[in-house]
Each structure stands twice: as C-alpha cells, then as structure tokens.
Amino acid sequence: MFKLKNLEILLLINCAFERISGLDLFNIEVLKLKEFSLNGISYSIWENYDILGKLDGLENLTLSYIPIKQAYFSKLNIMCNLSLKILCLDDYFLEFIDLQRMEKLEVLENLYLCNRKFQSCYFHYLGNNCRFFQILQILDLSFLKINLDDLKYIMKFENKRKLSLMLSNFDLMSVKNFLVALPLNELSIGCDF
C-alpha cells in the first residue's frame, strides 16, 4: 500500500486541482520529501498551504511556469540551508527578498535561473555573504538579462564547472577577457542584440 509518509519525491507537472471543502489534500507536515517540483500547475490551490515552510529536508526544488506569488521562494524552511543542492526557478519573478533567502543556502551545487525576471534587483544583489560561493558547480542564467556587475559577480563562484548565460547589449569583445578567465568545463552563451 502506498503511504504518503514514505514519499520522498513529489513532482506535480501540468496538474489542475480543485478545492474540496474540509479536506486537507496536502498534509505536508508528515512528508519528508527530498525532491519537490511544481511545474505548470495552477497556483490557486497552494495559496492556503505554506508548503515551502514545511519541507525541511529538501535536496532538489523546482518551481517552473506557475503563476506564483512574488517572494514565494523566500518562505523556504531554514532547515533547507543545509540540504538543498539543486534549485530551479524557471519563469518566476525574483525579488530582493528571494535573493536574501537564497544567499543562506550552504550546500547549493546547481542553480538554474532560466527565463528569470528580476523585480527591482539584479543577480549580483545575491551579495557578498553568499554561502555557496565555494560549492556551486552549475550556474544557468539562460535568458536572464544580466549587466556588467553581474558578470563580475559570477567570478566569485570559484568552483563552477558549467555556465550558461545570455549576453544582452554586450559587445563580445568587451567581455572576452571575462570569458577567457573562467575556469569552466562547459560554457553556453546566448546573445540577444
């Protein structure tokens, strides 16, 4: 028999949920999920659930293509600082408060901020107190418009092996020295001129 208390991975992809009065469909407090993904689902069902605040051992979190409230990521349980290794926020508005929350992650190895839109901030606002500078290996900023300060900030991630980024309004010759100095195994560049 399938028991939710043993569930470690929950992936909800293109799902539609309806509210059932008086029934708590997601008693997340009993779950010890390692991986949680909301991809292409209606957010309205989640408005009354503090899901991210109740998941304390997540290793992999994906929030993609969902009309989610701003600053939702900032509600991530603080216990995830020591467990979250993979974070994918795709097509999501990031606010400064989200970046403040993100900088506290201590074991983050892979960060995917694809199709990301920053709300009154930039990637380098992640700050100098970021706890995963030495650990991050994969940084994907595909389709995220970055500026020169963001490029300089990327240099602080010393162990990155793979970098994907979009160069908008940059002359490739002007960033050549930056790109050559990166100790990478794989580099993917998109240009939007």
Q: How many residues in total does the chain contain?
A: 193
**At 162, phi and psi to the nearest 5?**
-135, 130
pLDDT digits (tens, 9 = 90+) for 37-95: 988 776 566 666 677 888 889 999 998 877 766 678 888 999 999 999 999 988 777 88
Q: Of the candidates 54, 46, 44, which has an alpha carbon nearest to the alpha carbon of residue 76?
A: 54
Fold category of 25-192 in CATH: 3.80.10
Say how many CA atoms lie within 13 Å of 90 toward its Cβ.
15
pLDDT digits (tens, 9 = 90+) for 136-178: 999 999 888 788 888 889 988 988 899 998 877 666 677 777 7
pLDDT of residue 48: 61
Contact 151, 128 (CB under 8 A): no
Euclidean distance between CA atoms 179 and 159, whole angstroms: 15
Q: Kindly give the residue spans of alpha helices, DSSP state H, lying in 95-174.
A: 96-102, 148-154
Joined tokens for residue 180: 């050559």
- Residue ranges covered by each domain of the chain: 25-192
**At 50, phi and psi to the nearest 5?**
-90, 70
pTM metric for this prediction? 0.87
pLDDT of residue 23: 46
